[in-house]
Amino acid sequence: MKNILFVCTANICRSPFAEGALKKLLMGKKVAGIKVHSAGVSAVPGLPSPPDAIRIACELGVDITEHLSRPLSPSMVEEADIILAMSLFHREVILEMSPESENKLKLLGSFSKFYGGGEETEIPDPYGLTSFHYRSSFNIIRDCIYNLYKELICD
């Protein structure tokens, strides 16, 4: 079983949306053998996603209503086969926590075909901003998830 971990700051906006979007795609295509979860480098355990994040995610077909935040732990990093961080800062925190994780760690934005997709492409944090910002970030994530999915099934 392949274990995929998405990481952002508080685990209430970007990484839960990425987790939900990939799970939905995998279920829709009936792909088994891939476990998907998310965590935050500064997450307070048990917080729900903000109402705007839930609403925009729902509009985009991803249900994060039941999501509760989880702090990133060394065991999560160790158990993951693929770690996808939202920003360079998150990547640095993960590498400080587990230097040996470098070969399985990428920025999710590197999978974007529409929004740049360079190795250092970050996903903007919409927290506390407008619905436009949530929609923009989540659309970038959807683009990345689709391209990640294509890479996963071609392996």
Does the annotation count 125 as an active-site position?
Answer: yes
The whole-number pLDDT of residue 147 equals: 95
Question: Taking residues 39-58, what's their average pLDDT?
Answer: 98
Q: Is residue 132 predicted with pLDDT exceeding 70?
A: yes
* CA–CA gap between residue 41 and residue 135 (Å, rounded): 23
Structural domain span for residue 35: 2-154
Residues 139-149: tens digit of each pLDDT: 999 999 999 99
Number of domains within the chain: 1
pLDDT value for 155 = 62
Please answer whether residues 91 and 119 qualify as being in contact, where contact means their C-beta atoms are separated by less than 8 angstroms.
no
- Is 154 marked active-site? no
pLDDT of res. 148: 96
Where do runs of H (alpha helix) occur along 40-100? 51-59, 74-79, 88-97
pLDDT (mean) for 25-49: 94
Q: For residue 101, how many other CB atoms are within 10 A of its CB?
A: 17
Q: For residues 131 and 77, what is the distance between their CA atoms, to the nearest angstrom?
A: 31
Amino acid at 146: Y
CB 10 within 8 A of CB 136: no
Lowest mean pLDDT among 29-33, 54-58, 87-91: 29-33
Tokens 């407008």, residue? 130
- Rg of the chain in Å (alpha carbons): 14
Given 13, 14, 52, 91, the catalytic residue: 14
∠ CA 90-94-99, rounded to 5°: 140
Counting residues of the chain whose pLDDT is more than 90, the rounded percentage is 88
Q: Six-digit token pair at 22?
A: 């990939």
Residues 25-48 have a mean pLDDT of 94
Res 117: pLDDT: 65
Q: What are phi and psi of 45, to 5 degrees?
A: -60, 140
Catalytic residue, from 55, 58, 125, 142: name it. Answer: 125
Instruction: For residue 152, give the 3-state DSSP assignment.
Output: helix
- Residue 119 Ramachandran class (φ > 0 left, ψ -120 to 50 alpha, else beta): alpha
| The pLDDT of residue 153 is above 90 | no
Mind listing the pLDDT tens digit for each residue in 60-117? 999 999 999 999 999 999 999 999 999 999 999 999 999 999 999 999 999 998 776 6
Residue 114: the pLDDT is 76
26: confidence class by pLDDT, cuts 50, 70, 90: very high
Q: What is the CATH number of the domain that holds 15?
A: 3.40.50.2300
